[in-house]
Structure 1
C-alpha cells in the first residue's frame, strides 16, 4: 500500500516538474521563431523588389508621373535628378506630353516642396510651364499616387507612365494596384547615386511600412510619414 502511494506521489511530482514554466527557454524559442519569420519576410520583399518587371512601354501615354525624392538646398538631389532625367528622356522621345510632378516639403529644411524643385529643374531644360502639373503636398509614395490620381481625374488624363527607380518600382506598383490605377506603365531609372545596399535596406523598411499601412487604411489610419522612409 505504501509503495502505491509513494508511486502516485512521484508521478504527481513529475507532472508538476513537466509543467514548470521556463522563461529563458520560452524567450529563446520565441526569439528563434521571430528571427526566422523576420528573415523570411525580408527575403520575400527582396525577391519581390528584384523580380519586378514592368510591361514594355507603349507608343504614347497621356502623362508621365514623376515620384518625388529629396531636395537639397532647394535643388533636386542626385536620386531625384536620375528620375527627372529619365522622365525628360521619355518626354523628348514623345512618350507623353504632360508631367505630373508630385512631392511635398522635405524634412531637411528645404524652403520649397519637391514638386516645385522638379518644375524648376525641368524649366531650366526647356520644358514649358504649361506641360507640368504639380502636387506640392505629398509626403509619401502613397500620397504621390493618391494625389496624382486626383489630378488625372480633374484634367481627364487616362493613361500614365510612372517614373521612379528600379528599387522603388515594386512598392509603387503595389500602391498603384491598391489605388485602382488602370494598367499603369513603369519606367525605371537605374540609380548610381546611392549604394545598392543602402537602397535595399531603406526600401525593405518602407515596403514593410506600406504593407502595415494597407491594413490600417481599412480603419482610416496610417503610420506617420516622417519616419525617415
Structure 2
C-alpha cells in the first residue's frame, strides 16, 4: 500500500515536471518567434528610410560617428562629404556637427574632428557650430536643438547614413523638431551586415526609450 502511494506521488510529480518543461519550451519558442518578427519589422523600417529634403533649412545637422585617431573614420567622412555637398548646393548656410569623445585620451571629439574636416574642405569656421557632449543619436539631436534655439533657428536638415535615417527622424519628431528634414547617404565602406544588425538593437532600445519619454519617465 505504501509503495502504491509513493508510486502515485512520483507519477504526479513526474507529470507536473513534464507539463512545466513543455510550457517553458512553448514560452521560449514564443519569445524567439516574437524576436524574429520584431527584427524583421525593424529591418524593414531601417531599409525604408528616404531623403525628405524639399527646401532650404536654417541649419544642417551632421550626426557624428567614430573617429580614427585624429581623423574622421571612412564612414564619418561619407556623412561629412554628403553634408558638404548640401552646403555647397545652398540648402543651408550653417552646420552643426555633433558628437562627443569616443574614448579617453583622444585628441578630438567627433564634433571637433568633423569641424576640422569641413574647414579643410573650405567651409568657414564661423559657419560651423560644435556640439561636443552627445553619446547617442537622441543626445545628438537634443543638444543640437539647444544650439538651434540659441541662434533662433527653427528648421534643420539631418544628415546621416540611410540605415540610420529612420531612427534619426523618429528621434527628431519625438523632440518636436519643426518639420525635420532628412538627407541620407549610402555607404560604400561600411559592412552593412554588421551595422544593420547593430541598428536593429539600437532601434529596439530607442523604441523602449521613446515609450518612457512619452510616459514622462525619461
**TM above 0.5:** yes
Provide the TM-score with structure 2 as the length reference: 0.88
| Distance of 2:104 and 2:208 partners within structure 1 | 25
In structure 2, how many angstroms separate the alpha carbons of the residues matched to 1:52 and 1:114? 24
What's 1:155 paired with?
Answer: 151
Question: Paired residue for 1:118, among 93, 114, 119?
Answer: 114
Offset from partner CA, 1:45-67 (integer Å, 9 cap, x none): 01111122343x23421110000
Q: What's the TM-score, normalizing by structure 1?
A: 0.84
Deviation at 1:215, TM superposition (A): 2.8
Q: How well do the aligned residues superpose, as a CA RMSD in angstroms? A: 2.0
The residue that corresponds to 1:165 in the other structure is 161
What is the CA distance between 1:131 and its match in structure 2? 0.2
1:80 paired to 2:90:
no
1:94 to 90, 97, 112: 90
> For this pair of structures, how many residues does the alignment match?
207
Contact in 1 for aligned 2:62/2:158 (Cα 8 Å) = yes
CA distance in 2, matches of 1:51, 1:90: 22
Distance apart, 1:109 and its partner CA: 4.7
Q: Secondary structure at the match of 2:92?
A: coil
Superposed structure 1 runs of 4+ greater than 6 Å apart: 16-19
Out of 188, 195, 211, which is 1:199 matched to? 195
Largest Rg, 1 or 2: 1
Equivalent residue in structure 2 for 1:210, among 206, 211, 215: 206
Q: Conserved in 2, the CA contact under 8 Å of 1:61 and 1:95? A: yes
Q: Which residue of 2 aligns with 1:35?
A: 32
Unaligned runs of 5+ in 2: 1-8
2:175 aligned residue (164, 174, 179): 179
> What CA deviation, in whole Å up to 9, does each residue of 1:155-181 have, x standing for no partner?
011111100000000000111111011
Question: SS of the residue aligned with 1:65?
Answer: strand
Deviations 1:76-126 (A, max 9, x none): 001100000000011111111000011001037522211000000011111
Question: How has the CA–CA distance of structure 1 residues 70 and 62 changed in structure 2, closer, same or farther, with 3 Å as cutoff?
Answer: same
Aligned pair in 2 of structure 1 residues 59, 212: CA closer, same or farther (>3 Å)? closer
Establish whether residue 25 from structure 1 lines up as the match of residue 22 from structure 2.
yes
Give the Cα–Cα distance (whole angstroms) in 1 for the partners of residues 203 and 84 of structure 2.
Answer: 27
Q: Following the alignment from structure 1 to structure 2, what is the Cα–Cα distance between the partners of residues 74 and 53?
A: 31
More RCO (CA 8 Å, sep 6+): 2
Tell whether the 8 Å contact from 1:60 to 1:96 is kept in structure 2 after alignment: yes
The aligned residue for residue 3 of structure 2 is: none
Residue 189 of structure 1 and its aligned partner are, at CA, apart by 1.0
Q: In structure 2, what is the Cα distance between the partners aligned to 1:219 and 1:97? A: 35
Structure 1's unaligned 5+ residue stretches are 1-12, 222-229
